[in-house]
Structure 1
Amino acid sequence: MKDIHSHVLFGIDDGAKTIEDSVELIKMAKSIGYDGIVCSSHFYPEKYENKNYDHNFEILKNRLAEEGIEVTLYKGNEVSLHADIFNKIKKINTINNSKYILIELNYGIIYQTCAKFLAKLQDLGYKPILAHIERYYEFTGKQFIELYNSGIILQVNIRQINHLSQDIKYLFKQRYIGLVATDSHNLTRRSYDVGEYLDYLKKFVGEEYFNLLTEENPSKILNNQEIKKGEVHNEKTNNRNIFTAFWNKLFPRNGA
């Protein structure tokens, strides 16, 4: 598997603090099946702007080689969607120097502003991935589908897989979600101890879609290729009872 969203690179943001933390996190990742990790440290104008990123990245890569840990690291950032990023776009690491860029939203951002900024990134030639969409409770399922239809890739954090809203569950069922990642930060609450969540995800979506979310699409992104989209059901043209049956499962009537 490939993890396109992590904060395992030490000394850059609110993720790993020391190189020892980084190494232990990566060992944990390897033990549950990850062989590639994007070091997507936060990029937030005036707060996190990749100071020492390249230096620490090379140190960590060399340390992994010395210890024989066979996990490939890739450069990247998790970029806060803010008007100022367009003035600092040259400082930002896209994922493995591709056109793909991982984006997170500031809390309280309205949908129209989000859509406008994402469209501007697309106009500049980037392919935005919207990080941990399960956090954005103010957005509706319909709005996420609009973003998907405009070319935005939707990513969910694996640790939230058994605590999803009905909207996000529906997006999974209809195959709108393109990626699942760990967003690992540290050795305590946000580590790579996610094996049980991966098992839950596989049971929830099936092995084929699971592989698409955790291996096939991440690999395509790392190689700057078009991702493969899951087969999305179309409620308008498919049997309407596909949607109705799923909806009734989510909201059973009294006595059902």
Structure 2
Amino acid sequence: MRLVLIRHGQSGNNLLWQQTGESTGRHPDTPLTERGHEQASKLADAIAAGVLPWSIDAIYTSLMTRAVQTAAPIADAVDLPLHHLDIFETSGPFDEDPDTGDRWPHPGASRRELLTLYARLQLADEIDEQGWWRGEVEQLDAVLDRAKTAIDAVRQQHPSDSTIALVTHGHFTQYLLMAFLRIEQIGGWIDIDNTAVSLLHEDPRWPDTPIATRINWTPHLREDERTT
């Protein structure tokens, strides 16, 4: 299996943090900024032009608005339907009290809102006008298991020689890397820029040695176009 991990473009919350260094005023399901849309469009164009070493066979997205907005032009570029998978950001969608830091779950975008973002998005029947998230605020000790489950689901759905794109988030990418590379604990942080690509694969000659070929790769962006 080959995985193309893609972080979403710059979001409103990313810009807020860049400008203020804090999350006061954050949106529970923040959309892309204008720059974020430009980053996603540039990545889609680069993929259509053959920047990746592999052709994408299927594409999945988190259902957070910023991820769907990033995935939509990529799905158009490779002319594939857009599926969803539980590769949303750690903690899930949530509201937060700026004074106490207390968090409570947010339902995420409704079915209508998601299909307005991208009409070709393939949604499960249980995603309705009440939103897509029914859980609590996710605890960090559950995140690696979710990443492993997502990768296992892709394995079960596609042949072993497939290339699968996953449009996801900066923090959750840490866990997808751990799950694929069989790392149970990591003591640091891997920088993942907005719309950065990470390429992972398995060589059948060495089935027990998964490989990360590129991490945080942004061939579609100039240095001044990169954001974190």
- Please confirm whether the aligned pair reaches a TM-score higher than 0.5, indicating the same fold: no
Q: Which has the higher contact order (CA 8 A, sep 6+)?
A: 2
TM-score, L = length of structure 1: 0.28
TM-score, L = length of structure 2: 0.30
- Structure with greater helix share of residues: 1
Larger Rg: 1
